[in-house]
Chain A
Amino acid sequence: MSWSENSSGLGRDVPVFALVDCNNFYASCERLFNPKLKDRPVVVLSNNDGCVVARSAEVKALGIPMGVPWFKIQQEAKRYGIVAFSSNYALYADMSNRVVEVLSQFSPNIEVYSIDESFLELSGFEWLCYQSYGAEIRQRVADWLGLAVCVGIGPTKTLAKLANHSAKKNLAGHGGVCDFLTMRPDELTALLAGIPVCEVWGIGRKITAHLEEMGITTALQLREADAETIRTRFSVVVERTVRELRGTSCLELEEVVPDKQQIMCSRSFGALVYERAELEEAVASYIARVAQKLRAQDALAGALQVYIRTNVFKPEVPQYQKALTAPLPEATSDTRILTGWALRILKRIYRPGYGYHKAGVMLLGITPKGLQQFSLFAPSGVASAGSEKLMEALDGINQRYGRGTLRLAAEGVEKGWQMRRGNLSPRYTTDWAGLPIVSAS
């Protein structure tokens, strides 16, 4: 096969995509600043130190699966000396942003697909040898940031993803870079024949099961499948995947991250919470987080939801859960106003006598600032002109001196409800108090 399907014979450029993906991202971030972790198996645990959400290569080699509850692998952990970390999202987010910044030097068009994956469009760079360009990307991220990445290159995003998979698993390419564009068609066919269909982007567990019933078990078989049949049995989405596997680019780069239509923050508590006062502190601190995110995207919220619930995994204890949404009289991003409403909602839904396990807040009806409708009847309790300056100062101080330095008293001081994070590494790159210490002795 060839990639000319897309060029319609008019000399139109074939698109070229690269998918750059960090290897074992969270574990690699931990290892980057901690020399004691060299060659040691490292896992990162989910919120509340529940499950394994990231594994170093050594842990993968031990056959410990993703998502396994930490308490279930205590024996292996002891035997192999596995080091477990709580999720240090401040660190991962900063390193992720740095990776994106470095990648931006290699293409003007970039889609940040997840915290550790980005698509780069390299269309029109035909003078390049993609293989060596990929190697250069890999080298610069390694030099500048100390993180290992793999690069997959192809004429569609789906194929770039598969090329990346091939590079990572060492199935094709070399040195962590795999370029499908320069691969011979028969080589590519042989490669795809060896890749299970579930590895194809967008083919989840359900679809995989269906496809297998149809006798489609490899990426190659999916590529050769009848597109019509696939569309009628599944959807246009899966049909598009088939066409992308054939080299017809159907998915464009989504460069601009659409502004979030809702912003939420919810956490499970480290220990059950019974008192309304404690729930209030939790809810107020979540509001502080979401309001800051809201202001960061220069937007206002039109409605607010608060919910609380007991531990649904313990059916033997009394159960209660309730969510309530309130429209705001006037769209706002002011932490004080949002906190006021959130606490009023909480008061309505709180029932004493239950052990609460989780609470959350969600901002809805998000509109860009400047588009909002001023309410004729809304009480201007907090003058909006002063509000903006105050919130700016609040965000500025918290950015400089660490999150939560300046906060509403409603957030509380003790935070007994806070989630369990037993082995959290310092925020090496975002907190002056967390700088890595270097020994001169």
Chain B
Amino acid sequence: MPELAAPAGAGVFVPLLGAARLELPLGAVKVSAGFPSPAADYEDRRLDINEYLVRNPVSTFFFAVEGDSMEGAEIFDGDILVVDRSVRPRHGHIVVAFVNGERLVKRLFRRAGRVALVAENPNYPTLDIQEGQELEVWGVVVGKFKRFGA
């Protein structure tokens, strides 16, 4: 299999004409010249949207929204929800919930023995969770985002 074997070296050094030159990176040698930047001591890290939206990456998941029942809470069709499972769900939180085999986004109502999932749009009824009915509060919605097609 001659064309696959590494070229056999005869032990003679042959300079390759037109071989690639090894270029040293500019920063390899530090040379001080001119005045230091007056801003050097004030350098901040650039803002990172992840940091703003995602406090606990390991427990954070994203869901895509379909429908208009949460428009009152500024959650619109096509938004992407930031759901953090490490936040303990409380009365008043917007949550992703699994009910009757469906994934829903609603506001959690839990007061005076009543548990319900409330829409933020008058066209949609409140879903009261009856005793014995299963409700899995999957996680708490802590934010949302959307990318425009520009």
Contacts and interface: CB of A to CB of B under 8 A. Distances in A.
Nearest to B7: A377
Nearest to B86: A144
Helix, strand, loop or mixed for chain B's interface? loop
Contacts of B5: 326-327
Given A35-B102, A36-B101, A439-B102, A146 B6 contact: no
B102 to A, nearest CB: 6
Contacts, number: 110
B40 interface: no
Contacts of A383: 20
Contacts of A146: 85, 138
Nearest to B63: A438
B97 to A, nearest CB: 9
A145 B6 contact: no
B136 interface: yes
A383 B19 CA distance: 9
Given A35-B98, A380-B19, A439-B66, A143 B86 contact: yes
A145 B99 CA distance: 19
B19 to A, nearest CB: 6
A327 B134 CA distance: 61
Given A145-B59, A376-B9, A439 B98 contact: no
Interface residues of A, number: 36
B85 A143 contact: yes
Nearest to B88: A143
Nearest to A434: B64
B75 interface: yes
Interface residues of B, number: 46
Contact of A144 (B7, B16, B58, B69): B58
Contacts of B13: 376
Given A143-B85, A144-B58, A378 B101 contact: no
Q: Which of B9, B64, B70 has the most CB of A within 10 A?
A: B64
B96 A440 contact: no
A328 to B, nearest CB: 8
A18 to B, nearest CB: 19
A144 B103 contact: no
Contacts of B136: 35, 38
A38 to B, nearest CB: 7
Interface string A318-346: 00000010111100000000000100110
25 contacts: A35-B99, A38-B101, A38-B136, A98-B58, A326-B4, A326-B5, A344-B3, A345-B4, A348-B4, A375-B7, A377-B7, A377-B9, A436-B61, A436-B63, A437-B66, A438-B65, A438-B66, A438-B104, A439-B103, A439-B104, A440-B65, A440-B66, A440-B69, A440-B77, A441-B67
Interface of A: 35-36, 38, 98, 101-102, 143-146, 324, 326-329, 341, 344-345, 348, 375-378, 380, 383-385, 428-429, 435-441
Interface of B: 1, 3-7, 9, 13-14, 16, 19-20, 23, 56, 58-59, 61-70, 75, 77, 80-81, 85-86, 88, 96, 98-99, 101-105, 119, 124, 134, 136, 138
